[in-house]
Every structure is written in C-alpha cells, then in structure tokens.
Structure 1
Amino acid sequence: MPRSAFKRLVTTPWFLVSIPEPNPGSLPRPRLDDLLESSSSDFPITIIETPPGFGKATALAAMANARKESTAWVTALAVYSDPVPLFAAILSSLHYLYPGNQGIHDEITRLNQDDDPLHSRIASMLSHLPEDRRTVVVINDAHYLSKKALTDLVVPLARYSRGQLHFILSGMQSLTSWLSKETAEGIAHTIPHSEFLFTREETTELATAAGLDPERIHAANRCMHEETHGWPVAVQLLIKSQYEATVDVETGTAPTLLTEYIVNEALTSLPKRLQDFVLTATASTGTSPKLVTHLTGDISSPALLQECQRRGLFLELLRDKDSDPRFRWHPLFAQSCQDILKERDPEHYDAMQRRTAEWMATRYPSVAITHALKVKDPDFAVHMIEDVWLQMITSDHTATLESLCLEVPTAGRKLPSLLYIRACCRDILGDAIGAKMLKARADRGIATLEGDEAERTRITKAFAELLLLENHSGLDAAVSTAEEILTTTQLHRSLFTHGTFITAWNCLKLSRAPRRAAALFGSVSASAEIAGFPLIGQSAKVGLITAEAFSGRFRVARHLLDEFDTDHKVSAPNSPVVGHVVAWPDAFMSFWQGDMNRAVQLVREIDSVDGYGVDETDLARLYFAYAAALSRDTSLLNEATIMVGKMDDEETHGMPWPIYKHVAEVCLHLARGDRTRAIALLEDVKEHSWARTTRIIIAELWFRLGLPDRARRELDHVDDTSLVSFNLALYQKTLAAIDWVKGNKRRAHSRFESALDAAVPEGVLIPFIYLDDASRELMTTHSYSGTKHNDFLITRIAADAARSRKSTGVGALLSEREYEVFSFLATPMTAEEIAKNLFLSPATVRSHQASIYRKLRVTNRKDAVRQGLSL
C-alpha cells in the first residue's frame, strides 16, 4: 500500500499545548521572569539548555501564565523530530491560544489535505498571526526535536514572521549545537544555565517559607546555598528533608542524587500511605485522577494526587476548560520513584507497569507498548503490540510502531506475528521489497507454531494481509478470513474496532457486497466513540457514506452527508489509512444523479490534494473522464486527459487500474470523434469478471460506437441480481436501446421501464441524459406508453431538448441541473418540493437557484422565469 495513503495527522492533544499551572507555593522569580521576557523580545529564538532539575519548565510556566494572552505552549514528543508533526503541534498550540482565528483553523485542515512544500505552508500560516502583538511559542522538552525540524521549520518561522512570532526552546541537550549558525547570526540567543540557579537570597526565602530557620542552620556550620550551589532540585529536596542530609552537587549525578534524596528524605517525610501511593502513582509520568485510581484500586487516589501537588512533590497540573485535569510528574522524580519501587518490590513494579499499559492501550497505544516493554514477561509486550498495532497504523504512527517492535527482546522480534506487523510498517513506509521479505519469513514461521501462539498469529496474519496483498482473489479470501475472525473470536476492543474498519474498507474496495461494508462501517461508527476511539469513528462515518453510495442508496447517503459536520466536507481528517474523502462519495453520487458541474468541481478538489487515498483519487479521476466524455466539452476533455495520465498503470490492492484507465481513454477518444482509435482501444480491454459497473459502461460504449451485438455480448456476462440502482438502471437502459435498434419494441419498452424503476427512487439520471439518437427516440416514445414515471420522463425530455438547443435560449446559460430547477420555478412548488422531485437536498436546490439568479442577472424567482422565457 503506498505511503501517500497515510499522510493524515492526528490532532495534537490539548494537554500538550496547555500551559502548566503554577505549583502552589512556588517562589516568584521576577529576575528570571524579566530575563525571559527580555530575551524573547530581543531575539527571535531563545535557547535554554540545562541538565535536569534546573526548574526550566517551572520558570517558563510562570512566565507563560503571566502573559497568557500571547504565549503558546508545546510539550515536545519524539515524533516532533519530523518537521511536519512539529508544524501540526505548533498550529494546534496557536489555535489553542487563538481559538477564534479562522485562518489558523483552516491551516490545520489544509495541513491534513495538501502536499504543498513546507515553505508555502509556513508563509500561509504567518499571514494569519495577529498583527497587534508578538506571539511567543514555548517548546518544552525541545531536545526531542532535531536539527532538521529546527532549521526547516522553527528558524524560518522566526526569521520571516516580521517579529510577530518568537520561540523559546527549552531542553536538556543539543539545542545550542543545532542552532550554532543562528546564534552566530544573532537570530538565536542562549540563556546560561547558571541564570536558573537559586540565588542565596532565593534559597533563604524558600527555607523560611518552609519553616526552617536559616540562622540555626548557619550556626550548625552548614550553608544551604553552598551545599546545593543553588541547584533548584537539590534546594527543594533539601528543604523537604528539613535539612537533614547533605548534597554533593560536584560528584553526584542527577538521577543518583535524586534517588538518594527520595529514598532517605522525601519519602520518609511522608505518611506511609502517601509513600506507597507516590511509588505506585509515578508508574506513568503523565497521569490523571482516573489513571491513579485504576493503578491503586483506591477511590480516594484523586485526593492523594492533590495532596502530592499541595506538598510540592514535583507534580505539574494541566487543566483545560473542556477536559478532565491531567498531571505530570517531573520525569527524574518519577524515574527515581520507579527505580526505588523496582528494587523494593519488583512484583508490584511489574504489576503497575502492566496495569499502566492496559490503561493506556486504547488511549495512547505507543505509550502502552513502552510500559509493556518494562514488564518482566516479554510475551506481554508482544501481546500488547498484537492488540493495538492496527490502531497505531490507522492513526499514522507507523514509524513509531516499527521502532517499538524492534525494542522487543531478540527472541520476540523473530515471532511471525511481529514479522507480519513489521512487514505492514515497511510497506506503508514505502519499502515494498523489505515488506515482502518480512512476510515471507513470517509465512515460513507460522507453520511451526502451536496452541494460543498459533491462533494469535493467525489473527495478526489475517488483518496484515488486508494491507499487504495486491491481487483481487487473495484479498477476497483475506476478507472472508477476517470476517470469520470478527464473528467468532474474542478480540481486544482496539483490534476488534480497527479490524472491523479495515475489513469494511476492503469490502468496499473489492466491490464485495457494499451493503455488508455499510453494515461494518455502521457498527464501527456507532460503537467507536463509546469504546474510546473517536478518530476511527469519524473515518467510519465517511466510509458508511461511501458504502451507502456504492450500494445505490443515494437518498440514505445524501442524508448522512448532510448530517456530517460541515467542517469535514472536504475530507475526513482522521482516516490516514484509507484516505476516505467525503468529497469522493459526493462526487460519485453527483455524477450518477446528473449534477455534472458539482461532480467536476469536487473531483478537481480531490485531484489537487495529495493526502486523499490513492484509490479514491484515481477513481475520482476516472469519473471525471466519464463526465468530460459525456459533455464533449473540449476544455474538460483536455483536463480529463491529464487526470487519466496520473492514474496508476498497475493493479494495486485489488484495483484493476489498467482496465479503468483503458476504458477512460476509450471514452475520451469517442468524445473527440476518433471512432477508429476508440474501437481499437476497446478491443484491447482485458477480460475481467468482477468490475460490474465498468463492464456495463463498456457495453454502453460498444452501443454508442454502433456495435450493438458487441454490447449485448458484454452484458451477457453481467449478473443482474447483484446490481444496484445506478448500474442496474444503465444496464437495463442499454439492453432496452439494443432491443430498440434490433426492432424488438415491446421488450425495449419493458426494459426501459425497468431502468426507470431502478433509477427514479434514487434520482439516477446518467442513463437518461446525453443520449444517442436511438435512446432519445426510445425515451420519447416511452413517455406515451403508459409509464408510471411520466413526470420524471417529461422533465428528462425537456432537459434533453434544451441541451439540443445549446446555442440559444436559457439552456445555453444553465447547467443540466440548473435547467431542471429552472423548469420548476414557474410552478408554486417550494424548494423542498422541488428537491423531492429532483432527489436533491433543499440546500442544493437553493444553491442552484442562487446560481440561476446570478446567471440571469435577477434577484428573485418571478424575474428569473420572465427573463428565462424571453431568451
């Protein structure tokens, strides 16, 4: 599967762009506040690089909280070493800071859709910054970034923002070397780590606030400032120990020193219950009241968490008005506590890491795997990966998943299940050869497995093959296997939800029972949010719309489309695997319902954006060619030729692109009047058994080329029991036209009525517009034969007549759909009634009305009718 289908980015969680709240009782440091403010004002980039424990985050949070109206915050993750995820995080932080800024909101949407160069995105984003203030973006834990992320993104943002955007980068290492050139140029400035040390006066103030008597301490020949050298973490720990121990800053490393203090001083000063709580609650650096309750099994745990914060135990509070509060332990403090727990009670440590992994599995699967890798039992990490790997792939964390697979102990890395997962990662990341080699190793290894391991591997293989296999028959068998597993096997809820989604997606791609695909998508859409997977739930809603459209249930699909959040009308932002696009089912239905202008407009949008699924994009290009061929518009034909040239030349993931491309070329040559070339190309179309709609279109092409017998032979291979509204209508209409030219008038009328029966309920128009002479004669004659669809036919005949008079009258100004709406304007029917007759939504009818008024240069319905009739 090509990498371009996996480009969407998951929205940055609010707690990564939320400024930490100040710790209760923290010491105001106006000197440091002024220094940070001055540096961030004078320099586009301020660098803070110190070892752990220097209070960088505390100082920055204090500054940021003091200037909340113009300070954005990003807590960096390892994935931000790539400029694009970092850009997404910066955009999210700015949107969090300026929620009413529509321009920044649009840039986030654009980032998920377009494939423009980064410099173009940077320029566009900068244009939306408020001009009345200087915005400062604080990036904490910036050591997780990379030189590339800084030089490709942060430096240009700071350099070209005309002073509107400045950065403060805070981390433990590498920042000064990464930005040495910018520092020499005066763009970046480093604040020495010594500025973060407590002064003697600040140390005394802290001690006094904690109830210590500095004079008594001095009389005992001890000096807190000299013993700690002002190192903030050492000062704080020494105060918490009531100054009962010494600190050797010169020789002790930070982790060793912290662990010693926590063991001997910080924990011993706490009540036993709180000691035990801290050792358990620090299993995860990021935590919440619900997580600590899960870990301890004690409903009073949230209160104990607040007690830790009140005591200043290196715990930051993150709060959002719309979400539950979250906390973050100082990483070194948490690590030291876990080292202590692992030494004192390894079984309890193991149990807490296991419970943390289980809690995180559905929320943050990569974090869950990281905790699972700390558990002594190596099988636990393997099973965790087997349960959440599809969730990581569908949320575009493929590279992270692959690296975590490689962190499993050597024996586990060789397991067939992990080899299948790694094969999927390689394939998604563009290494098809590596993927095939890993899959071949897995296929050989699976035969040697037994029992539970064999069953778990069988499950992994089934879903992996949905992503890896290319040929139609293999994928068809894989879908059957996956459906059997979903209905007979108890799966982890992450694997079940995402496995159902991937299975539904393949059902849709294979044109295999789209109603079954709709049922599977509907199941995911209904249950995903409750199960804790809102992102895949959104993608499933789009999949459901597409499945209903492919099922020929246009009314249902249109209703779902109208209900879909208008912010997602161009694309569903959280579907990196399938690239499902709301615009695609809309364009598909618009084509079959005869709204060519809308279909063309939507396909242009899809074609212009790299980030939609490759399959959806190429299918949209195919339908653009169909639309252009029917219209015979020269400019559209030229545009379609370019689009068809972009289509894949090889069958991929079960899609017969060479056939689709070939048929599109036939349509274009026929539309240009090159009958000889069209016939030659059509003769070369390879035999295929399952692309039913394409086969019917091929038959229609043979008929329009004046070869009805070839058309009949093509249709003889179609199983009409599997057809739905749109392709059944075209199938019956083409058969009717063949019978008509062959002189079998009675059967022609019977088949034409069957075509109307299939088309009218869903508003399918394509079989009855842009008609050849024989079909036009049949439709006109059929209107007098006692049809139960007389109103539909009268409208179609009028529209066809208007198209025949393209050079004059109102028909020359209006599109097909606009002319249909215009024909109702002289009646007393409301927009809702017109919509019902034309199988459109009232909103679409009103949109066409507005276009009609604009083209006729009028402002109301009455004048539109008068002006139209006068032309």
Structure 2
Amino acid sequence: MSNSQEFDFAWLSLDPSDDNLERFFMVLAYSLEPYSSVTSELIRNLFSAPQIPSSSSLAGILINQLVHSQKKLVLVIDDYHLIHNSAIHAGMFEFIEHLPSNFHLVLSSRSDPPFPLHRLRARGQMIEVREADLRFSGEEFENFLVNQHLNLNEHELTILEESTEGWIAGIRLALLSLQHQADKADFIRKLSGNTRYIMDYLTAEILDQLDIRTRLFLIKTSILERLNPSLCDHLTDLNNSHTILQDLCRTNCFLFSLDPEHEWFRFHHLFRDLLQFYLKQQCLNDPTAMHFLHNKAADWYASHGFFEQAISHYIQSEEFSKAGKLVEETTFKLFEQGRLHSLLNWFDLLPRALLESRTRLGLMRIWAIAFAGDIVNAAELLNSLMVTGNRSFPTLVDEQNLNTDIQVICNFLEVSGCKNVQTLFLTELSKSELQLLTAFVQSVYYWSIGYAGRLQGDLLRAQTNFEEVLRLGHQMRNLWTIVTASADLGIVLRQQGKLKQAEAIYLQTLQMIPEISAPGYVGRLESFYGSLMLEYGMVSAAEIYVEKALRHNQYWQNPNHCAHAWLTKAAISIFLHKYDAAFQELDQAEEWIRKGTVTPNLSAVITTTRVKLFLKTGNQKSVLSWLENTIFQPVPDEKNIDEVEEINRLTAARIYLAQNDTDKTLHVLRSVENTARRFSRISTLIEALLIQAQAFSPRTNSLPLIRKALEIGLPAGFRKIFIDDRDAISSILPDCLEIEGAVELLAFLQKEDRQKATQTLLSQREIDVLRLMAAGFTNPQIGKKLFVSTGTVKAHSAAIFRKLDVTNRTEAIAVAKDKGLV
C-alpha cells in the first residue's frame, strides 16, 4: 500500500443505531456499493425474506461480491466500539477471515473488538495502530495548524498540543470553539484540564457559542437520523430551518449535506449523541416532551409518505394507536416493497392489548406471519382472533370486509400448509364478496384457488385463476405478485403441453425485472425457466439459470423457492449422468423441506426423484422401502386424481416395470392415463404412454403408444421426457421421422451416443483438460485451474492426442466439438 493512488478508499462511520444486524450489513453494503458489485438493495431484499439470514451467510454474500471486483479497495470502519451485537461480531470476523487479496480493512475502535486477535497476529494478517501511534507529534501538529491562520504564540500552541495530547478530533473541536472566542489565549489556558473529559468539554463549548435558538434547534432535531428543512420547521415551529442547516453545514458544525441540492443532512454521530444527551437532560422533569417531539416527527413523515419512519417515531413516542393505524393501512403496500422484516419487528413492538383489541390490525399481523412462512403460528393467531377479537365495527360494510378478508387468509393458510390434498377445502367467494376486497387480497384469493386447483389436478381451473393473479399484479404494478403468478401459470401451461406459452410468460417477466431491483423474487422464476430449458434439452441454458436462481435465492430464502432450485440442479445432474452430484443436490433440497413448510407436490417430486435415482443406481432396498411405505388412494375410473397421487403412481409404475410386473404397471397407470386425457395433463400423458409402451412386448404393441407420445410431445417442444426413456424409443424413432421434431431428437441421441463412446475412451480428467483447451487456456493456466503441474497437463494432452488420433490442440478441439464434448 505504498502508493495510495493505486487504491480506492471507502469510509463507514458507525453510530449506536447500527448495532442491529440488518442495519449494520445494510450500511456496510452501502459503503462498498460504489466500488464493487455489492449492493445495499440485495441486503435489503435478503432481510425482506421470510427467513432472517445468519451473520455468516451475510458475510459470505459480501465476500462473494467482492471477489469479482478487480479494484484495490481500502474500507475504513470507524467507531466499531459502538457495536455490541454478538451476531454482528461473528459475521465481521467471518468477513475478515475470507477477505480477498485486493481488499484491506481498517477497523477504528476505542476498545479491542471481541475477535480472536491472537490468531490474526500469529498469521501476520493484522497491523495494530494503538492510541500512542495515533497522536500527532509536535511536527505533525504544527503542520496541521499551518493553514488554520491562528494568531497563537509558541507557548499557546504548546498548551493546546498538551491539552489535546495530539488527538486530532480534540484539536478540531478546540479550533471550532476557538472561532467564537474573543480572548483566544485565555480560552486555551483553560483547556489544560483532565483530558478524559476534553471531548465533552469542547463540544459543550461549541454549543455554548451558538445562540439559544440554534442550540435548541440542534437539540430538538437530534431525534432525527436525517434532517430536511421542512421536517425541521415542523419539529421546531420555525420557518428558517433551511438557512440554519446551510449555516451549520458551512461552518463545519458536524453537519453534513447528503445530496447536491442540500435538501437532506445528517449530524456526525458523535455530535448527535451529545445533542441527545442534552435533550434527555432537558426531558428529565417532563418525559412527555421527548414523546411530543417523536410524535411531531411521525406526523410529518406520515403526511409526506415516509411510512416506515413515521411508524418508528410513533412507536418511540408511545403513540401505539397511531402506529397501529398506520401499520394497518400500509401493510399491503409494504408487502409490495418487500418490507416483511420491518413489519414483523413493528408487530413485536406493539402492545399485545392493542393487537387483540383491533381486529383489523391483528389480521395484518397474521398476514405478515403467514407470508413469512410460519403457517402454524399464523393459523393459531387467526383462531384466537376469531374467538377473542373485537367484533364491533362502525358499519356493516366494515364487518363484511373483515369477514371476507378472514376467509381469504383462511384459504391461503389451508393451501400453504396443506399436508393432504384429499382433505383440501377452500371457501369460494361470490362476485359481490370479491368486490369488497383490495386488489392485493383479491390476488391472494385467486392464487389460493388456483394452487388448490393445481394440487387437485384441475389445470384449467388453476390456469384461469393464475391468469387473474397475473392481471391484478400488472394492475397494481406489484412485482412480487407478477413473479409469483408468472411462475405458477407457467408450470400449469407446461403440464398442459403449452411449453412455448410458458416460455413466453417466463421471459416477459424476467425481462421486465432488473436483477438488482428484486433478485429474491426472480430466483423462483429463474429455476422454473431453467427447468423448462432442460426439458428442451438446452443443458447449458438450464445450468446458467439454475445457478442464477441459487444465487438470488440467498436474498429471499423461501423454502419452496430454494428447494425447487436444488431439485432443478439435481435434474440437470441426472440428465448428465452425474448421479453422485445429484444425490448431494437432492440432500440440499430436502434440507429446505426440513427448514420450513414446502408444498406437498414439490415435496413429492423431490422424494420420488431420489427414488428414481435409487432405481437407476441399483439401490433396490431403498426403492422397495419407499414402495412399501407409500399408500395409494383408491381411484374410481371416473374420478380425477390429485398431483401428489399422480407423481407417486408414475414412480410406482417405473418400479413395477423394473420388476417386469406388467399387470401392476398397467394397473397403477390406468387412473393416471384416464385423468391425464380427461383434464389435458399432457406431460403426464406422455410419460404414462412411454411407461406403458415399455411394459408391452413385442414391438408391434408398443409402437402405437410411442408414436402417440411423440406426436403429442415433440411438436410442443418436449425432448428431455423422451431422452429419459431413450431405451424405449431408440428403435422406433427412425420409423417416425415424419413427426415434427423427430429428426432433431434422433440427431441428439446419436450425438449423445458418440459422446459416451468418446467419454469411455477418455478419463474424466482428460475430458476436463480437453474442455479447458477448447476454452483457450494455456497448459500452465489449465494446471492452475486443475491444481496439477504443467508437466501433468502435458501428459494428459499427449494421451488425448493419442486416443483421438490427432497430432495437435486444434485437431483435438475439432474432434471434441464434432463428438459433442465441448
């Protein structure tokens, strides 16, 4: 760091309010934002998620963002001694332990942070600058004062230096006080007191030099984190706050402008602490005075649309009724903004008696808890509210509105917490009842009805309702609703064989949402889109989107979203015959099932994917264990079967097929095929036909079934579903080339055959070297990436050339491309 011009510098000054996990990592991300891909919006979205992130995961996210930065950066974090939160300390040490080589951290604190400093010392990873090192020497002190234009003699300068002990903050405070002194020599002589109190003494002297109105202005406005002239006028009953703020800022009175227009300001946090101390002293005899100020600030924030700040100040003023009213009115708006974490905090701070006495407010709390994924707690609170809540309303319409909202949230909880699709029951509302609902509540109603339809196998009902949710989302411009509706509508269209329509909806929504604005929301859609790309056989695109989904899901840790992304990643691994990786990825998906409530259909897909993987890898014991413990519902021919039953029956059919039990295979498929035909569940019908075809012999009996499956699926874009059953179709496909898409599918299968032949010829490490060759890496670069020597890379290259019958890299890459290896 000898040449500071090579580095960018970022500075973060902490204050006591930063001793909060969310706020600390928000301001940390904000300070890094101009110099790296770290964004405070990502951290904000992460804390808006249903599950609050750990400090370790937050540190990991910041490190991952910094690793990709090419800049050399020094971050200074000032006043770290104000942090007492153990979770923040743990996250910070995790952050320090994994800093990239181009990043340096300077931590300023009045006391040692509770880190294992001995470990950093032993590794030579820490330089310590203690109090003595920070003091100005005599020469440094004189150099600092050169441009201050002070008419002080040598004796007076010596007193000033000794009184401040070379502490630059104390020197600056002294110089500010000195500007208002007629007798500067006398003032300096009085500074030779106990240096422990020098900062308090000097800051008090600054205030004493200001006129009484300015002092009162500063003390009153110290309750504000950010100051605005209009807000200050309202708080202090003045009309010249803009002038006061400009003057204070210009005279360096520890006030900083936050924007070029000088509309918003903030105090230096040390100065603000001092002002708040005096405010508390003034309010000792009248505690209501502090509440009065917070209430006035809250009124201004509320009237200007700053609802979060208004609610916070109302709570501090103990105006809980006003805070509750505002929370009640803005809950759905804050949902749209992803401010779920703030809502949950406020509900925790509001008195229980208020929540119980105001039924509408209590219902808003239940909405927040339900969207956070705590379905059991939400259901218990709803039951309690319906029994004990205040049921007196100004008008009959108000009571009807509330009752209708309760019915909607009951439906949402019933679907979200569903364990048994057979017992799923929702209350359907009339058109007149729906008209009583806000657009947001309507969207939740239609989503619940739609998802219930999907679970019960009624795809047309599901589609109609999800389309209405999407319409309402666009009407409200609510990104959360749009993403949710697009994902669920797309999967229903896929099940109906309308792959191109699903793709269009996915892409339209993905393109309208910049990644930086709502990464958490988009993660679910990305994994759904990746799954669709895999069905097309576009493995590279699928891998890209599932990795995006996994990354974005870090900022919105919904168990359903995360589990689906890992499931999709496992499906890609299975498609590529990487079975060990697939087992590990299914482990990750099941871990999310254990963490929270996951819909029964997603849980069933994850479980049966593992069972089918056991079947592929010959683990008959685990396969039979699942079969023995799965109860199949009796399904009359005329009855529809639900999605979970369908998933289980298709899996059981594959097991019976592997056991060469044709009768059981066909029996378990009969109801699946019947309902798939009746309700246009095309993807299910294709799979059922392919399994049936394999149960039949000879070839003449299976040909019509496979041809029918190809005719239904290939023109719609299905490919993976046929590749998964390539053994069934490979001998018949050449006789079906007139079907749209059959030629392309045959070419894909033939290419895969060539790949397998070459892959058996080459070792996995040789394939890795070959792919890096094709990417343009040199032998030394390949060695670094694979953690082997250059000589080992050369040995692998020679083996590749010999096995592929080529003489150089260019020829090897050409052969690899022809065989589909790169």
TM range (shorter): 0.5 to 0.7
- CA distance change for structure 1 residues 85 and 574 in 2, over 3 Å: closer, same or farther? farther
Partner SS state of residue 94, structure 1:
helix
After TM superposition, the score normalised by the length of structure 1 is 0.59
Q: CA deviation at 1:589?
A: 1.0
Residue 556 (structure 1) aligned to one of 491, 504, 508: 504
- Is contact 1:104-1:128 (8 Å) kept? no
Q: CA deviation at 1:356?
A: 1.1
Partner SS state of residue 760, structure 1:
coil
Residue 234 (structure 1) aligned to one of 188, 204, 223: 204
Residue 713 (structure 1) aligned to one of 670, 681, 697: 670
Matched, 1:654 2:604: no
Which deviates the most, 610-619 or 596-605? Answer: 596-605
Matched, 1:489 2:428: no
- CA distance change for structure 1 residues 400 and 352 in 2, over 3 Å: closer, same or farther? closer
Partner SS state of residue 165, structure 1:
strand
Q: CA deviation at 1:150?
A: 4.0
Deviations 1:98-136 (A, max 9, x none): x2x469999989999999678877987897899978x35
Q: CA deviation at 1:404?
A: 2.9
- Is contact 1:379-1:412 (8 Å) kept? yes
Q: CA deviation at 1:772?
A: 5.4
Which deviates the most, 370-379 or 111-120? Answer: 111-120
* Separation of aligned partners in 2, 1:384 and 1:775: 63
Deviations 1:359-395 (A, max 9, x none): 4555xx2x33212336786432112223444666787
Q: CA deviation at 1:765?
A: 0.9
- CA distance change for structure 1 residues 369 and 741 in 2, over 3 Å: closer, same or farther? farther
- Is contact 2:653-2:669 (8 Å) kept? no
The one-letter code matched in structure 1 to 2:28 is I
| Number of the residue aligned with 2:96 | 157
- CA distance change for structure 1 residues 676 and 779 in 2, over 3 Å: closer, same or farther? farther
The one-letter code matched in structure 1 to 2:715 is V
The one-letter code matched in structure 1 to 2:180 is A
Matched, 1:368 2:331: no
* Separation of aligned partners in 2, 1:345 and 1:650: 43
| Number of the residue aligned with 1:446 | 389
Deviations 1:776-814 (A, max 9, x none): 455443435xx4x2xx11222333345456654799999
* Separation of aligned partners in 2, 1:138 and 1:311: 25
Matched, 1:470 2:417: yes
Deviations 1:702-741 (A, max 9, x none): 6854535225423246354655665565467667888997
Residue 760 (structure 1) aligned to one of 715, 718, 728: 715
| Number of the residue aligned with 1:820 | none
The one-letter code matched in structure 2 to 1:206 is Q
Q: CA deviation at 1:556?
A: 0.9
* Separation of aligned partners in 1, 2:424 and 2:105: 53
* Separation of aligned partners in 2, 1:187 and 1:805: 62
- Is contact 1:539-1:574 (8 Å) kept? no
Residue 664 (structure 1) aligned to one of 609, 633, 641: 609
Report how many aligned residue pairs link the two structures. Answer: 688
1:285-684 alignment runs, 5 A limit: 285-288=225-228, 306=246, 309=249, 315-319=255-259, 326-328=264-266, 331=272, 350=295, 353-359=298-304, 361=306, 365=308, 367-373=309-315, 378-389=320-331, 401-409=343-351, 411-415=353-357, 416=359, 438-446=381-389, 448-451=391-394, 455=401, 459=405, 462-463=408-409, 466=412, 470-471=417-418, 488-490=436-438, 496=440, 500=443, 511=454, 513=462, 516-517=465-466, 520=469, 524=473, 528=477, 537=479, 540-541=482-483, 544=486, 547-552=489-494, 553-557=501-505, 559-560=507-508, 563=511, 574-575=519-520, 580-581=523-524, 583-596=526-539, 599=542, 612-623=557-568, 635=580, 639=584, 642=587, 646=591, 648=593, 652-656=597-601, 659-673=604-618, 678=623, 681-682=626-627, 684=629
- Is contact 1:606-1:620 (8 Å) kept? yes
The share of aligned pairs that are identical, in percent, is: 11
1:57-96 alignment runs, 5 A limit: 70-76=9-15, 78=17, 80-82=19-21, 86-87=24-25, 89-96=27-34
The one-letter code matched in structure 1 to 2:748 is A
- Is contact 1:505-1:543 (8 Å) kept? no
| Number of the residue aligned with 1:251 | none
| Number of the residue aligned with 1:202 | 175
- Is contact 2:490-2:506 (8 Å) kept? no
- CA distance change for structure 1 residues 177 and 583 in 2, over 3 Å: closer, same or farther? same
Residue 694 (structure 1) aligned to one of 643, 647, 656: 647
* Separation of aligned partners in 2, 1:158 and 1:633: 33
Larger relative contact order (CA 8 Å, sep ≥ 6): 1
- CA distance change for structure 1 residues 343 and 722 in 2, over 3 Å: closer, same or farther? same
- Is contact 2:533-2:541 (8 Å) kept? yes
- Is contact 2:523-2:549 (8 Å) kept? no
Which deviates the most, 792-801 or 410-419? Answer: 410-419
Residue 737 (structure 2) aligned to one of 777, 783, 790: 783
Deviations 1:519-564 (A, max 9, x none): 6357546854xxxxxxx73895587356435533343156348737
Q: CA RMSD in A?
A: 6.5
| Number of the residue aligned with 2:748 | 799
- Is contact 1:137-1:168 (8 Å) kept? yes
Which blocks of at least 5 consecutive residues in structure 1 are unaligned?
A: 1-40, 42-65, 170-174, 242-260, 268-274, 529-535, 816-854
Partner SS state of residue 106, structure 2:
strand
Q: CA deviation at 1:755?
A: 1.0
Q: CA deviation at 1:592?
A: 1.6
- CA distance change for structure 1 residues 594 and 526 in 2, over 3 Å: closer, same or farther? farther
1:837-848 alignment runs, 5 A limit: none
1:133-172 alignment runs, 5 A limit: 135=74, 137-139=76-78, 143=82, 145-146=84-85, 149-150=88-89, 153=92, 157=96, 164-169=104-109
Partner SS state of residue 630, structure 2:
coil
Q: CA deviation at 1:616?
A: 2.9
Q: CA deviation at 1:412?
A: 0.7
* Separation of aligned partners in 1, 2:408 and 2:318: 29
The one-letter code matched in structure 2 to 1:594 is G
